[in-house]
Amino acid sequence: NESSDSGSPHVHATTRKRVLLSQVLQYDVDPSRSSVQKQVVDLHYDRIHNPDNCYHIRLSWLTTTHKLVRDAISRWSTIANSHGLTLVQVPVKEAVEQYQSHPFDRPHRVRLAYRPPDEVPRTPIVSMRHTSALPNDADHFLKAVMRGLDFVLDFESADSFSTKLNIAYSWGPLDYTRTQFVHRSGLVLAQICPQEIDVDCLLLPNRLASAKLALASTFSVKDIMQSVDDFCCDEEKLKKLYNEMTVSREPARSPFRRAVMSAADIDVPPMHLPPHLLR
């Protein structure tokens, strides 16, 4: 009697590839040894830096003196400012959960007056045979609106990544339900809601922003939220933004392609290695 399971399919279990987006090290916040005890914190930092997005530093500690931690953050802020950067403190949890600790900070709801197109523009650099593999980013136009209003991407939502990848940080898994942005002033947090019907964006004040940031900014929280409202209520501005994003642009040609040597280059002598390196 032949085996009855010869025709049954075999299912192979697949494990998702784990991608770690941050690393951790122990940092001494007391270099001058003002304390007799060891003052160390766990410093989590991004492994990859995209200049268009926020770079994250996360601190955790148990017995370290709080004042020494604040002094270290103050030193980092001074160094960042000297290089044209801004160190902004934001809550660990996503913005929509702030009202649980601040019940009077209800999210300010924003709705686009003109709906974005359903199709996401494709870059002409990618060949047609790879187009079907590209993710359909429903947040594409909302992200463009936020960037145009001086918001910087903070964290992507957990469902923005491929299900084939296990995205994690050194402090734990990514659990954001919405993609979050931070205004360049550090005073306002924003989260986009592409899957919701009655709202496209949620705005909340950043209660952890220092008074120094508020004084340095030329805008207040009210001014920033009003600018978002004004832009999202202007149909003509929204249409112009969508059109600029959907227009197909040819990729820039390389300046080195079919390069022709000019007459001035002919007189340049060829470069050779020095004799002692040719032995």
Q: Report the pLDDT value the prediction gives residue 27, as an integer from 0 to 100.
A: 96
Q: Which two tokens stand for residue 160?
A: 């923005």
Cβ of 81: how many Cβ atoms within 10 Å? 13
Q: Report the pLDDT value the prediction gives residue 272, as an integer from 0 to 100.
A: 52
Q: Report the pLDDT value the prediction gives residue 138, as an integer from 0 to 100.
A: 61
Residue type, 142: L
Give the integer Cα–Cα distance in Å for 100 and 195.
Answer: 23
Q: Report the pLDDT value the prediction gives residue 130, as an integer from 0 to 100.
A: 41
Give the integer Cα–Cα distance in Å for 31 and 271.
Answer: 49
Give the integer Cα–Cα distance in Å for 204 and 228.
Answer: 12
Residue type, 5: D
Residue type, 251: P
Q: Are 88 and 206 in contact (CB under 8 A)?
A: yes
* Segment (H or E) for 183: strand 180-183
Indicate the pTM of the whole model: 0.76
Q: Report the pLDDT value the prediction gives residue 228, as an integer from 0 to 100.
A: 96
Q: How do the pLDDT tens digits run along the chain, 279 residues long?
A: 544 555 555 555 567 788 899 999 999 999 999 988 999 999 999 998 888 899 999 999 999 999 999 999 999 999 999 998 999 999 988 988 877 777 777 889 999 999 888 766 655 444 444 444 444 566 889 999 999 999 999 999 988 888 888 888 999 988 899 999 999 999 999 999 988 878 899 999 998 887 778 787 888 999 999 999 999 999 999 999 988 887 755 555 555 444 444 554 444 455 555 555 445
Q: Which two tokens stand for residue 219?
A: 């805008």
Q: Report the pLDDT value the prediction gives residue 264, as an integer from 0 to 100.
A: 47
**Which candidate, 157, 230, 231, 228, places its Cα nearest to that of 191?**
157
Q: Report the pLDDT value the prediction gives residue 13, as an integer from 0 to 100.
A: 54
Q: Are 216 and 243 in contact (CB under 8 A)?
A: no
